[in-house]
Amino acid sequence: MKITDIKTFLMQAGSPPSGAWAANYGTIATGWRNWLFVKIYTDAGITGVGECSGWPRVIETAVHDLKPVLIGENPGNIEKIWQKMLAAIMGHGMTGTVGGGAMTGIDMALWDIKGKALNTPVWNLLGGKLRDRVRIYAHAKTPEVALQLKAAGITAIKAGGTSDPVRMLEDLRDAIGDEMDLMVDLHGPPWLTVSDAIVLGRRLEPLNLLFMEDPIPPEHVESYARIRDAVAVPLAAGERAATIWGERPLIERDLVDVIQPDTGRAGGITQMKKIAAMAESHGIMLAPHSGSLGPVAEYAALHVMAAVPNALMLERVEIDWPGRAEVITPVPKQVDGHLAVPDAPGLGVDIVEDAVARYPSQMNVGMGKGDYEPGTENEFVYVQTKLRRGKYFKGK
Ligand SMILES: [Mg+2]
């Protein structure tokens, strides 16, 4: 079998910002984003589908740049093709998410082709499955949304954003009780300083969080050690890195309890399996990032999570944009806060090309529009000491 062609499908997912929400937050908090799917074609008539994140519109060009590397190759030699792609783009940088995203979608499609050619699901090619379903967690900032998700069977909730986090998390814990897991994502901008992350982490200790995510900027890897030494809350990070080399510092230095590679840009199923193994050797659990990701990468995550022992949970934007269900077939089955592991050959999913074409790409950068208010999410300084600490870190 030989690869004959590769095509890309770029689309706009989510709803554009409107009303007061748009006035206050612009596009950054609305989930309005690009999805990029790829399809690889072979002379055997088998096609494979994949998804790329990490700046999708830019990656679309990167995927077409890689076409000459792929044409004529046997799609079954996935590791060889992955290494060829890495060598081909080496001059552009090794661990970036644009290159990682391009290789991810292609790698994912190659696993899909291999599974279809061998008439077996991808999880079977990864060593077989440990589980028939994968636990998911959803996002909630208010008790109302958390209880709505709880009633729908969700068993773990994550709150994002850094404004008044102690009070928000106390309210959430009071609402959902101790039977559900609760997490926080402290990502910026503005990102917290190490001191603020330590003070905040100590305030959150009584809430028994499953993890505290991205307490400081991902570039400050060495500072995770200071937080870890000072705070008894499990740490999670890794969504903004790509490949084993991007995730390696967090794992190798035992800086996190949970590693969160993004299934759309970490380097594909090939890299996800290796990252999971590296994490396993350090007792670190895997909880793939999927905040802005689309539904094809979610299928890839399900196959990886089915086949690795240290699978914790899969992130899912629940409640997401309804169009998510239009652009793929079949839609994954969600029962009791879990997604069923697909059993069809390959990834078990395909894109609906007509539906994708109905949502052309418009824009894909985060645009803040709020007032320039020091120390809040509306101040777009990358790292900012939290002001009014007495209020924000006090809680109830
Ligand atoms: Mg995050």
| Residue 128 belongs to a domain | yes
51 plus 161 within the same structural domain: no
Q: End-to-end CA distance of the chain, in Å?
A: 64
pLDDT of 390 reads 85
293 plus 344 within the same structural domain: yes
Domain boundary among 119, 136, 153: 119
Threshold 0.75, pTM exceeds:
yes
Domain boundary among 351, 371, 389: 351
99 plus 130 within the same structural domain: no
Mean pLDDT split into 10-residue runs, the chain, 396 residues: 98 80 54 94 98 95 97 98 96 86 98 98 98 97 95 95 84 97 92 94 97 96 96 97 95 98 97 98 97 94 98 92 95 95 98 97 75 67 83 84
290 plus 173 within the same structural domain: yes
Task: Give φ, ψ of 313 to 5 degrees.
Answer: -160, 160
Task: Give φ, ψ of 327 to 5 degrees.
Answer: -95, -5
Integer Cα distance of 105 and 299 in angstroms: 12
Kindly name the residue from 64, 220, 282, 289 that is annotated as catalytic.
289
pLDDT of 136 reads 97
pLDDT of 368 reads 64
Is 289 marked active-site? yes
- Report the separation in Å between the CA atom of 95 and the middle of ligand 1, taken as the mean of its atom positions: 19
Kindly name the residue from 139, 187, 303, 338 that is annotated as catalytic.
187
- Inter-CA distances, 381 with 191, 324, 372, 384, 390, Å: 8, 33, 10, 6, 21
- Report the separation in Å between the CA atom of 187 and the middle of ligand 1, taken as the mean of its atom positions: 6
pLDDT of 385 reads 84
- Inter-CA distances, 222 with 123, 158, 219, 238, 260, Å: 35, 25, 9, 13, 17
Cβ neighbourhood burial of 103 (10 Å; 0-12, 13-18, 19+): buried
pLDDT of 5 reads 98
pLDDT of 70 reads 98
CATH, residue 347: 3.20.20.120
- Report the separation in Å between the CA atom of 185 and the middle of ligand 1, taken as the mean of its atom positions: 5
- Report the separation in Å between the CA atom of 289 and the middle of ligand 1, taken as the mean of its atom positions: 7
The domain total for the chain is 2
200 plus 62 within the same structural domain: no
136 plus 242 within the same structural domain: yes
- Report the separation in Å between the CA atom of 45 and the middle of ligand 1, taken as the mean of its atom positions: 39
232 plus 331 within the same structural domain: yes
Which residues have CB under 8 Å from 63's CB, separation 6+? Answer: 6, 8, 36, 38, 52, 102, 105, 106
Is 338 marked active-site? no
Structural domain boundaries, residue 311: 124-351
